[in-house]
Amino acid sequence: MTIVALIALAVGTYLMKSVGPFAAAGRELPPWLDRLATLLPAALLAALVATQTVGDGATLTVDARLAGVGAAAVAVACRAPFGVVVLAGAGVTALIRLLGWG
């Protein structure tokens, strides 16, 4: 019974997601909506990073993660390659945790 419900929900999800492209096929988006659609992924990613960095369930937590994100932000500001940004963030986070501060 569970597998039937899972398959039905999956099919329903794919059908609902396919309605949008079929309904808007051949139409241009208004300019304001096109700009919004361009900016929305960056805003969502920033919100996810912020909540995962300082969120801990129902409370705000300042720990090593925040320092790691800060180090990564500095690396981005210095126009470092993506790998360097990731290593800077992970390295600072690991160092702070190793020192017992976070």
- Nearest C-alpha neighbor of 65 from the set 42, 99, 87, 97: 97
The residue behind tokens 């079929």 is 22
Position 28 scores a pLDDT of 85
Position 88 scores a pLDDT of 97
Whole-number Cα distances in Å, 34 to 37, 38, 45, 97:
5, 6, 18, 43
Strand partners, 56: 59
Distance of CA 74 to the CA centre of its chain: 19
Kindly report, residue by residue over 15-32, the tens digit of the pLDDT: 999 888 888 777 888 899
The reported pTM is: 0.64
How many whole angstroms separate alpha carbon 65 and alpha carbon 34? 34
Kindly report, residue by residue over 20-67, the tens digit of the pLDDT: 888 877 788 889 988 998 999 999 999 999 999 988 888 888 899 999
